[in-house]
Amino acid sequence: MGNCMSGADMRGTYRQPQCEIRANIPKVLRIPSSNIGIDPLASGSGLYEKKSKIGEGVYCDVFRCTDVRDSKKGGSDESSADVIVKVFNVMYLDRIDILQLQREILIQRLMHGVSSEYFPMVSDVYISENNAKVFMVEEHVVGGDLFEYISSQEELQEEENCKELFRNLLSAVALMHSAGITHRDLKPENIFLKFMDNANSIMIGDFGQSHSTNPKISGAAPWVNPNSMDTFVGTVDYMAPEMVKNQKGESNPNSDSTYSTLVDEWACGCIFYLCLTGVLPFSTDANGNALSTPKIFNNILNSNKVTFPAEFQFSDSCKDLITLLLEAKPDRRITAKEALELSFFKDVPDRPSHLTDAAIARRKSSLNNTMENLKNKRRDSIDASRRNSLSRRNSSGGSGRGLQKRMSGSIMDFLKQATMELDQKNSSFGANPKEVIKHSDSDEEFFADVRAFKEDEMAKSNTRV
C-alpha cells in the first residue's frame, strides 16, 4: 500500500487515497472495457506509433503519433493518419485533476458534435495496466498552434490579413456560448491552425478549465455546478477584470461574485491586440518587456479604455472591435455574436491600414520581446511547478497537493495555489508562510510578487474610508 496516499485537499475537502483514485478512473472517464489495461503507444500494440514529442506539462506529455491502422491503408498524404496523444501520469493526479480531465473530454466531444469545423475530435481514451497512465487521443491539427505561428513570423500581418482569423475565432466562441460552454482559458496556445503557415482556419482545444451549463454535460458530470462561474482559473495575461476582482474579493458585496461567458470575449480582445501590435495590452511595457504579476493585475483592473500605439495606424473599425471586446465593464462588453456584425468584418475597410518603417521596426522588436517573454513565463511556470510538486511529494510522503500541476503551464493556476498556500493557516507546513516560501525557493521572485501584491492590496484597504 506504499502508493496509496491520502490527505487533506488544499480546498479543505477530503482527498481520496491515490489507489482509490486509480481504481475509479475508468468509470469516471468512461473508458470502454476494450481500452482498459492498454498502452496504445507500446511497441507492438498495433495502435499508434510516436513520431515526435510536441508538448510537455507538469503531469502530461503530448506526442504526435501515427495511427498504425490508418497508415496501413495507404494514401498520398501520410499526415492524414496522424493523431495527437496526451499521456497523463496518474501518479501526479488527484481527484480534482481527474474530474478536470473528465470535463475536458466530455466538453470537447460535445463541441466537436456541434461543429467539426472549429473543434477537434477526441477519438479514444485508454488507460494502461495498473491504471498508471491515461492516454487521450485527439484529432491532429496540422498547422500547430497560434502561439507558434505568431512566434515564427518575421513581422505581423496587416489588419486586413487578420480579418479571417478574427472572424473564425469569434464564430467559434459564439458557437461555444450557444452550446452553454465557456472556455475560460482562451489564448494562442489553445488555438490551433488547420493548415501550415496559414492562420485563417482555426480550431479551439484544451477545455480543461471550461465551464458548462449544457444539460448533456451536467447530466454526465453532476459534480459540475451549471448555475454559476466563480472559480479563479485561466492565464493571467488574458484574464478579464471581473475574474481578477473575483480572486481578490473586491466584487460588489451585494452580488454573487460570479462572472459570465463574456470573459472569453475579453480574451479574444487580448489575442487580437497581440496579433496586430506584437504586445499584450496589459502584460508588457511600451518596449514589450514583461511586467510582474501584480502590475498586470493592476493594469487589468485599471483598464478604463485600451490604448493603441500612435504609429500603428489601424482603421477606426478595427480599434472599435478591440475596444468593445476589452470593455472593462462586462455589462457593456460586446458578445462574439454581436462583434461579428461590426463594420470591421464588412468587405471594404473604412480606412486602409498603413505602417511606417519605424512602426514596422518597432512591431518586429516588440513581437520578438513579447514572444520570448511568454515562452520564458510558460517554461518557468512548468519547471518551477514540477520542482515544487516533487519536493512537496518527497518531503510530505505525497500528502501535499503541490503548488501547480496544470498541463497548460498557466501562471494563473500557479498564482492561485501560491496565494492559497500563503493564506492557509492549517497547511501541511503550518501557519508560517516562510515555511511555504522555503520549500519554493526555486521561484523566489514569483513569491515576492505574490507578497508584494497582497501587501499592496492590504495597504489600499487600510486607506479606504
- Report CA-CA distances (Å) from 202 to 79, 116, 147, 318, 462: 18, 11, 12, 20, 48
Amino acid at 343: S
Measured CA to CA, the distance from residue 7 to residue 363 in angstroms comes to 50
Per-residue pLDDT tens digits for 226-243: 666 888 888 999 999 999
Measured CA to CA, the distance from residue 116 to residue 194 in angstroms comes to 12
Q: Among 246, 268, 269, which residue's Cα sits nearest to residue 257?
A: 246
Q: 76: helix, coil or strand?
A: coil
| pLDDT at position 247 over 50 | yes
Would you state the cell numbers that stand for residue 136, as one nine-digit string? Answer: 487521450
Using an 8 Å Cβ cutoff, are 129 and 119 in contact? no
Per-residue pLDDT tens digits for 154-173: 766 788 889 999 999 999 99
| pLDDT at position 388 over 50 | no
**How many CB atoms are located within 10 Å of the residue 296 CB?**
22
pLDDT band at 402 (very low <50, low <70, confident <90, very high): very low
pLDDT band at 459 (very low <50, low <70, confident <90, very high): low
Domains of the chain, earliest start first: 7-139 (3.30.200.20), 146-373 (1.10.510.10)
What does DSSP assign to residue 256?
-
- Any residues with CB less than 8 A from the CB of 170 and at least 6 apart, and which? 268, 336, 339, 340
Measured CA to CA, the distance from residue 381 to residue 385 in angstroms comes to 6
Measured CA to CA, the distance from residue 204 to residue 190 in angstroms comes to 6
Measured CA to CA, the distance from residue 50 to residue 67 in angstroms comes to 9
pLDDT of residue 452: 54
- The pLDDT > 90 percentage for the chain reads 38
Which of 100-109, 322-331, 366-375, 424-433 has maximum average pLDDT? 322-331
pLDDT of residue 286: 67
pLDDT of residue 111: 96
Arithmetic mean of pLDDT, 242-263? 70
pLDDT band at 178 (very low <50, low <70, confident <90, very high): very high
Query: Which one is predicted more confidently, 421 or 71?
Result: 71
Arithmetic mean of pLDDT, 364-383? 61
pLDDT of residue 184: 94
Using the Cα atoms of residue 279, residue 281, residue 282 and residue 285 in order, give the sign of their dihedral. positive
- Any residues with CB less than 8 A from the CB of 175 and at least 6 apart, and which? 111, 114, 115, 118
The string of DSSP letters for 257-317 reads ----THHHHHHHHHHHHHHHHSS-TTTB-TTSPBPPHHHHHHHHHT-SS----TTEE--HH
